[in-house]
Structure 1
Amino acid sequence: MSDVATDEHPPATAAEESVSTNAQASGRAGLLRSGIIVSGMTMVSRVMGLVRDVVVAALLGATSGADAFFVAFKVPNFMRRLFAEGAFNQAFVPVLSEYATQRTRAEVRELVDAVSGSLAAVLVLLTALAMLASPWLVWVFAPGFGRDPEKLALTADMLRLTFPYLLLISLTAFSGSVLNTWNRFAVPAFTPVLLNLSLIGSAVLLTPWMSDPAMGLAWGVLIAGCAQLTFQVPFLVRLGLLPRPWPRFSHPGVRRVMVLMVPALFGVSVAQINLLLDTVLASLLASGSVSWLYYSDRLMELPLGVFGVAIGTVILPALSKRHAEQSREHFARMLDWAVRAVLLLGLPAALALAVLAEPLLISLFHYGAMTEHDIVMAAMSLRAYAFGLVAFMLIKVLAPGFFAQQDTKTPVKVATMAMAANMVFNLMLVWPMAHAGLALATALSAFLNAGCLGWFLIKRDVFVFQPGWGRFGIQLLGGCLVMGVVLWWLSPAWQTWLTWSVWHRAGHLAALVLGGASIYFVWLAATGVRLRHFRLSA
């Protein structure tokens, strides 16, 4: 962006100058530093999410109100994953990065205004229709509630409170996409913490005043949406990019985002359908199968979110800028950096989940109705998920290699093929391995997905293995081997964990996790891996 004023582009205001300044600064920002920031904030969010689950379970248990709330929250949350944080982010960030790299400040602001206005117009209409049709939506997502008119009515009432969350969180995702493009990763990464804090606060402060405690949590969801969107406003002001929303569906940038969103939306739908089909099959198995998969998935999601999603979040705007600049060499180096970072963190995390499966499940969930048999069963599926953890993480960093090139069709084709393979694997493994077979099928299809994404990127010459992979692989495998042996040797039999108090379990588990991580990174340092090897400018 030129700083020379012309008749066509008048002198920039202070806010507009900040756009240019921050765009230049973003180019010097380090991917490692950004990844650490996002990982740290994501860790805080995931921990607060566990606290939220404990509070909600203590308040509602498994009552009719709890069922109603979970459905009322699931509907907008499902659409959020499908629409706001999935397809929209994948389509909008590459277009915004191209504008930030190749267009003037005025054109960037025009794009932000047009996209925000068009997005808001669609969401306002959708939200209004959903609030009017809330009883019918409950029938779609929870048809069994129709047998209990009181439960159906309560769910519909709560859905009218929770559905506006989709509008608010989608605009929050839009704001986060703008901030991420200018390397302001900490703010969007911290924002989900506000949802957990709002629900915890509502459980404590609002539920005593409600006729049904669950209604207090529904208000908490609405409050969380307002808080998350409001929190990001000052940071957009500082960038000089606070939108002045005005619907302009004819704007070229808006049309491009819409075109890119269609296949991306289908791709996200494929993943959600996959999860739904797994749940349907699990419901046909022994009682408890759905819960065993849920508990093991919760543990697998922690390293996936903290490492895989964090690196994917950081890499997308950086790759989009390099593609807009036609810097193929730097683009290839970034993809190589992302894959190395995933392996550096994903391999030991997967091994730790497998070795410490029972201690982790016992320490977190073996209270109340959770039996020893449940621990054994959940540990089986957790080990199967752990086998595929690296593949899940690789998908998060390889798919942005296509999105950055504004190619949303190829990942969709690969995801569709992986979904078909997952169903075949499910039918092959569910009978001999029951619920663990479903988890293993998901892991195998993830490897197929990641492998195909990597293969297509290599064929396009946009993913090129940089020098040093042989030595790096030996260093990683050696570190994992040493860490795994030590964890296995130091951890007592899982039955012993059952006899300990909650604090004894927590202390011993923390010591094992910290000790294993220390051994792993000391090994890497001793064999020549240095922090500077993972420093790469965005």
Structure 2
Amino acid sequence: MGLLRSAATVSSFTLLSRITGLIRDVLIARAFGAGPLTDAFWVAFRIPNLLRRLFAEGAFSQAFVPILGELRSTADTHAVRTLLDRVALLLTLAVMLVTIAGILGAPWVVTLMASGLRAAERQTEFEAAVWMTRMMFPYIVCMSLVAFASGVLNTWSRFAIPAVTPILLNLSMIAACLFLVAWFDVPIYALAVGVMAGGILQLAVQWAALARLGLLPRLNASISASRNDPIVRRILRQMLPAILGVSVAQISLLINTNIATWLTPGSVTWLSFADRLMEFPTALLGVALGTVLLPSLSRAYAQDDQAGYNALLDWGLRLILLLGLPAAIGLALCSDALVATLFHYGAFGDHDVAQTRVAVMAYAVGLIGLLAIKILAPAFYARQDIRTPVKIAAVSLVATQLLNVALVPLLAHAGLALSIGLGATLNALLLGSTLKRRGIYRPAAGWRTFAARALPAQIVLAGLLVAASRYFDWVALGTQPGMRVLWLAALLAAAVTIYFLTLALCGFRPADFTRRAR
């Protein structure tokens, strides 16, 4: 299958996930606004998500997928099944212990994540955050096993199921928001129950997919044999630096969340909704490309196919330029339109729109960096080199926090978003320069010509969006929400059409976007 088709499959289902996620957030904004209890929910929800990224989707996938792909190419089915059984057993036991510790220590966990909630006047929010943290902590058990299943399915080139299952979480939270709120004395608690229901549904669907492939792990393996398995120990050795690498990003998120709880109430929610808009391009393009590139890069490295390895990276980075840069321009120049049209209802007022808009604009500055990391980091993971991205991520963490010191006093919550974006850009630059300096990545000829051909389309797009921002008052259009949606849809359709038409006039053809798997 062509890599573009694989990426398009992941992107299509991810788009559905992000659309349902937006519907979810629109309902949350309308029902709860950007108040203190909403902040408490986002803090509580961020805790299991942080651990999920730390132990499951991040460190685990980076260590597990390349080694699983190598074993699949060199060993028989029995060896693969044995590895899956043993890895699944140890992963399950580890995350269950973490979950139990988290439930018991929820007050300390919330304090670590959001010390601003410990203020005397914010005890209601603190207690709510503790309750919801305890309710949602088992979510990491579900999502760790989902990450395991996703790694296996992606290795077998079954990209659709891992991409579609996040929709179930959003649907569960939507259902909770619509139908469970009345059952709780503190209405927002319904969202925590929805998160757990969504985690269970995602796990059920992914494990059913493993069963259809005949790869469903059996959790009755020997713990001792699992720990002493040389391939398992190799994965664990790879996970240690991977955990350090992922933890750098999560430490940055933890620090930023903590800082946000000391700012104006609502800051956590404004950043969460802005991040939701950022997830559209990062997931549709960055995550999709990273998902399909890692197995292909691993295969090229295992086969000592340096030309194929370089061509894969060239393809990914050129798509970032062609599709990621216009997304960044669109987020920055359409931030008012997007935030007002999506969230400006019910309890989410004019002030909330303005505060969320500036956070979106700040995030947009670092979008290209965030996307490039999704391409460049797998170039190291495919070589089973996790230490180098860890060191680079640590440098970026220090830089991000230094930027916070300078920017947060000036820009408040928007300073946090801008620091993250600038830190990601530094991370991407360091990853790319290291790959080139070591001779791992040798860009193909013609990059300057390629960029020059793409530039006119970016300029035309920006001009259109600037003109639209001066013509429309998107907040005032809240009195006509239907018309506001239609105008935004028309603007986005016009922007996409004009952008790709300009690319075509500059000589771009569909072949510039495609690449077949090697």
* TM-score normalised by length of structure 1: 0.86
User: Could you tell me which residue of structure 2 aligns to residue 50 of structure 1?
Assistant: 22
- The reply to whether residue 223 of structure 1 matches residue 202 of structure 2 is no
Q: Determine whether 1:269 maps to 2:247.
A: yes
Question: What letter is aligned with 2:397?
Answer: M
CA contact (8 A) 1:285 1:435 kept: yes
Are 1:170 and 2:151 an aligned pair?
Answer: no
Bigger mean CA deviation after superposition, 220-229 or 55-64 = 55-64
Shift of 1:345: 0.7
Whether 1:258 and 2:232 are equivalent positions in the alignment is no
Query: Which residue does the alignment assign to 1:510?
Result: 489
Equivalent positions of 1:106-145 (< 5 A) are: 106-134=78-106, 136-138=108-110, 140-141=112-113, 144=117
Is 1:363 the counterpart of 2:341 in the alignment? yes
CA gap 1:332/1:503 in 2 versus in 1, 3 angstroms = same
Letter in 2 for 1:502: P
Shift of 1:361: 2.1
Contact kept in structure 2, 1:101 and 1:325, CA below 8 Å: no
Kindly provide the amino acid, as one letter, of the partner of residue 401 in structure 2: M
Partner of 1:480: 458
CA distance in 2 between partners of 1:331 and 1:176 (Å): 23
- 2-side partners of 1:43 and 1:226: how far apart? 22
Counterpart of 1:198 in structure 2: which amino acid? S
Instruction: Judge conservation of contact 1:421–1:445 (CA < 8 Å) in 2.
Output: yes
Q: Distance in 1 between matches of 2:366 and 2:232?
A: 37
User: Is the deviation greater in 31-40 or in 74-83?
Assistant: 74-83
**For 1:419, which of 378, 392, 397 is the aligned residue?**
397
Is contact 1:188-1:232 (8 Å) kept?
yes
Match of 1:21 in 2: none
| Alignment check: 8 A CA contact 1:102 1:324 kept | no
Check whether the contact 1:92–1:257 (CA below 8 A) recurs between aligned residues. yes
- Rate the CA distance shift 1:278–1:60 in 2: closer, same or farther, 3 A: closer
**Alpha-carbon offset, residue 130 of structure 1:** 3.3
TM-score under structure 2 length normalisation: 0.89
Contact 1:297 1:382 in 2 (8 A): yes
RMSD over aligned Cα, in angstroms? Answer: 2.8
Amino acid at match of 1:191: T
For the structure 1 residues 293 and 57, does the alpha-carbon distance in structure 2 shift closer, same or farther, using more than 3 Å as the test? closer
1:536 match: 516
Matched, 1:329 2:303: no
1:335-368, Cα deviation, whole Å (9 max, x unpaired)? 1111111111101111112222222222223334
Shift in CA distance, 231/207, structure 1 to aligned 2, threshold 3 Å = same
Give the greater-gyration-radius structure (CA).
1
Distance 1:134 1:536, change over 3 A: same
Q: 1:333, CA displacement in angstroms?
A: 0.9
In the alignment, does 2:498 pair up with 1:519?
Answer: yes
Structure 2 gaps of 5+ residues are none
CA shift in 2, pair 1:59/1:404, >3 Å: same
Q: Give, in whole Å, the separation in 2 of the partners of 1:162 and 1:434.
A: 29
Checking the alignment, whether the CA contact within 8 Å between 2:42 and 2:269 is kept in structure 1 is no
Structure 1 residue 305 and structure 2 residue 277: aligned?
no
Q: 1:33 to 1:373 in 2, by over 3 A?
A: same
2:55 corresponds to: 83
- 1:160-309 maps to which residues of 2 (within 5 A)? 160-210=134-184, 212-245=186-219, 246=221, 247=223, 248-282=226-260, 290-309=268-287
Contact 1:165 1:225 (C-alpha < 8 Å) held by counterparts: yes
- CA 1:454–1:53: 2 relative to 1, 3 Å: same
Relative to structure 1, is the Cα distance of residues 146 and 509 closer, same or farther in structure 2, using a 3 angstrom cutoff? Answer: closer
Q: How many residues align?
A: 510
User: Is residue 470 of structure 1 aligned with residue 467 of structure 2?
Assistant: no
Q: CA deviation at 1:416?
A: 0.8
The CA distance in 1 between the partners of 2:82 and 2:245, in whole Å, is: 29
SS at match of 1:495: coil
Shift of 1:300: 2.2
Identity %: 44
| 1:11 alignment partner in structure 2 | none
Cα pair distance change 1:423/1:65, threshold 3 Å: closer
Give the conservation status (yes or no) of the 8 Å contact 1:391–1:443. Answer: yes
